[in-house]
Amino acid sequence: MKSVHYPVLLLFLFLSACGTNDMFERTERFPNHEWPVSQQPEAKFEISDTASLYNIYVVIRHTDAYRYNNIWLQVTTQSPADTPRKQLLDISLADNTKGWLGSGMDDIFDRRARITQAPIRLKKGTYTFTLQQAMREDPLAYVLSAGIRVEKVKP
């Protein structure tokens, strides 16, 4: 009798997990845990819901051996039917009182930093983000991956 309940329970869990994905994330790993200036991670995504607001984040994964409290990034945004827009961002990864920002496990830390001041409305179409590290060190040691995350704001 108990064995009949397990398939029903699994089916219920599977169906309850189905839903819309209100998030997009694309990261690129760096060989040897070094980010060369020449390697520029790119993230493309399609927007169809123009009524919603979105937050856009940079996602950086690094080790605790990373030598700086921040990372400078050149972020190029290509939105539908517009010319590419470049912005130089100073992303804090640590501070002197709290230590590493973001979440960490053992010696690896994930930092998600919002690059929009407030939630924004996006146009319909394809968006492309390109990241380039703009530090004075090339390659930049102890960076494991970098990318972009776009989240739909929950009403």
| Integer Cα distance of 70 and 92 in angstroms | 4
Which domains occur in the chain, in start order? 22-152 (2.60.120.260)
Q: What is the pLDDT of residues 28-76, one digit of tens each?
A: 999 999 999 999 999 999 999 999 999 999 999 999 999 999 999 999 9
Residue pair 123/78 in contact (Cβ under 8 Å)? The answer is: no
Residue pair 58/116 in contact (Cβ under 8 Å)? The answer is: no
pLDDT-derived band at 11 (thresholds 50, 70, 90) equals very low
**Which position has the higher pLDDT, 64 or 13?**
64
Mean pLDDT, the chain, as a whole number? 89
The token pair at 52 is: 């919603």
Angle at 21 between CA 91 and CA 61, to 5 degrees: 30
What is the DSSP track for 66-90?
---SEEEEEEEEE-TTS--EEEEEE
pLDDT-derived band at 22 (thresholds 50, 70, 90) equals confident
Q: What is the pLDDT of residue 61?
A: 98
pLDDT-derived band at 21 (thresholds 50, 70, 90) equals low
Residue pair 100/45 in contact (Cβ under 8 Å)? The answer is: no
Amino acid symbol at 58:
V
With a threshold of 0.75, does the pTM exceed it? Answer: yes
